[in-house]
Structure 1
């Protein structure tokens, strides 16, 4: 499998910081440990839908990476010029070498 992990991805996490006026500023930053792992990327079925006067497309993908225990469902992936919202990330079982993440890029609704 290691030869198939041929795509570099970036994993980002939301960071909230005080804005000085009693609110918060939300930004995205690389996760602390190994934010740019190698992955095998498999594009899954995509879909299209009407949005206003145009068409909006949404693409799903499966990212296979070396197993890790620091991912959150609220994290996102940056790959291929798109931001991928994580839908699921199977927690690795004991001694698992790899972990699969499913994610979606694009939106169908406003």
Structure 2
């Protein structure tokens, strides 16, 4: 399963970079394409951390995919608002750093009552 997950994450990274470059060229020239590619790569890496943590804690694949897709569309839409885009560029990495600090936690639930 680990190799399948890594292959999926690698494919998502390539697709995100390609989509970012395509949108960049559609909106402008090479500098926007470079920014779109870098943004796609960084977004994919950040989402990979969130997705792997969610799946490791027992989240379903379909539900995780739906929520990540909705969050990506919402974040992309907010980025078009001039001031909100700049705030988003500072707040999203801060939230990612906070998420990384909590990576070791796991909800025990009823497993804490189970006898081994």
- Structure of higher CA gyration radius: 2
Q: What TM-score do the two structures reach when normalised by structure 1? A: 0.26
Q: Which has the higher strand share?
A: 1
**Greater RCO, CA 8 A, separation 6+:** 1
Q: Which has the higher helix share?
A: 2
Q: What TM-score do the two structures reach when normalised by structure 2? A: 0.25
